[in-house]
Amino acid sequence: MENLSGKIIIIDDSESIQFLFTEILDTVFELVQFLNPIEALKNLETEKYDCIILDLMMPELSGTDFLKTYRNYDKETPIIILTAKQCGDREIAELFKIGASDFVTKPFLSAELIARLNHHIKLKRTKEELLFTNKELQAAISREEKLNEKIINKTIALQKSIARIKILNKKLKYFAAHDKLTGFLNRRAFFAFLDNDIKRLKRIDSHLSILMLDIDFFKNINDTYGHLIGDFVLAEFSKLIKEHLRDIDLVCRYGGEEFLILLSDSDIHHSLIVANKLREIIEQFIFSTNDLKINITISIGAAELKKDEKIDSFIKRVDEALYVAKKTGRNKVEHAK
């Protein structure tokens, strides 16, 4: 085996043995020698060695006790024990148990000792290299894990963004079809629904009616109390209307205070019942805010869709019915001709 350079500490109370070590090892290794094991222990608190050679029989501290003490804080540095010829099997086994790496019987052969030292130094260095590689691997794994975590966090953030965008799109879609103040459909959305319902009606034998509502003298409310109160009345009015209609009935804010109500599967008789009910509810309701108590009434025109009638004509007829209701006294329901 090629000689490895290394730093070795030799702890032996015999000066002649120490001299022998110097003779044999000084040219191969860097040697630090101690006759007193207690001083050696102190030295080992601050110095690192590639190998420790330790005598068993020493007056200040036995090699066994030294080994027990030292192994409490360093389990890695190889320790070769110098044993006397009379050392028994059991004693040697015990030494290995408490942390000896190897043993050499005195008197020893120099070539054997050097070979053993080289072997332990090489083993120690291989262990250190493995440990280093392991640390590098762990660092790489840790970097990878951090990267994965970042990717996961980015993905979560992205998913949250997508969810927000979906909600925004839903809102956009809603506001594209609805009036903000009343929550009712706008004209474009309402007429799309009406068109669909008329098409559906052609396939099944049913009825379809429309109510056109107008709040009587609504301009007076705005002029007297201001637009905020006017908006309040409109919003409350809308809630009230919604509460008294079926879920399938569609309401549209047709103009400022003008509304269309699509009553699917309703003939003129049913639509007149609905219209009168709404008229009565509104007439009896008191809109109250900030000490104000406001009463309003509504006029309603009602019309049932005729066979093959176009939307324009249908709307025109219900509009005319509303006109008649307004002209003939308001707070009433008229049906179209």
> Annotated catalytic sites, by residue?
257
Cβ at position 138, least distance to Mg ion in Å: 44
Q: How far is the CB of 49 from Mg ion (least distance, A)?
A: 20
> Would you say 12 or 319 has its CB closer to Mg ion?
12
Q: Which of 44, 49, 53, 55 binds Mg ion (CB under 5 A)?
A: 55
Chain residues 4-33 in contact with Mg ion, contact rule CB under 5 A: 13
* Residue 309 three-state SS: coil
Contacts of residue 280, defined as CB under 8 A and 6 or more positions apart, other chains included, come to none
Residues forming a β-bridge with 333: 300
The sign of the CA dihedral 311, 313, 314, 320 is: positive
Neighbours of 311 (CB within 10 A): 13
Coil, helix or strand at residue 56: coil
Q: Which residue has the tokens 């000084």?
A: 26
Q: Is 57 in the site for Mg ion (CB under 5 A)?
A: yes
* Helix spans in 178-256 (H): 187-203, 218-225, 227-243
Q: Given the complex with Mg ion, which of 56 and 212 has the nearer CB atom?
A: 56
Give the residue with the Cβ less far from Mg ion, 66 or 314: 66
Give the residue from 64, 61, 72 showing the smallest Cα distance to 94. 64
**CB of 68: closest distance to Mg ion in angstroms?**
18
Q: Of all residues in this chain, which one has the CB nearest to Mg ion in the complex?
A: 57
Q: Identify the helix (H) or strand (E) that includes residue 332.
A: none
- For Mg ion, which is the closer residue by CB, 9 or 251? 9
Site residue total, Mg ion (CB under 5 A): 3
Residues 279, 300: Cα–Cα separation, whole Å: 8
Binding mask 222-261 for Mg ion (x = CB under 5 A): ----------------------------------------
CB of 36 to Mg ion, least distance (A): 12
Site for Mg ion, rule CB under 5 A: 13, 55, 57
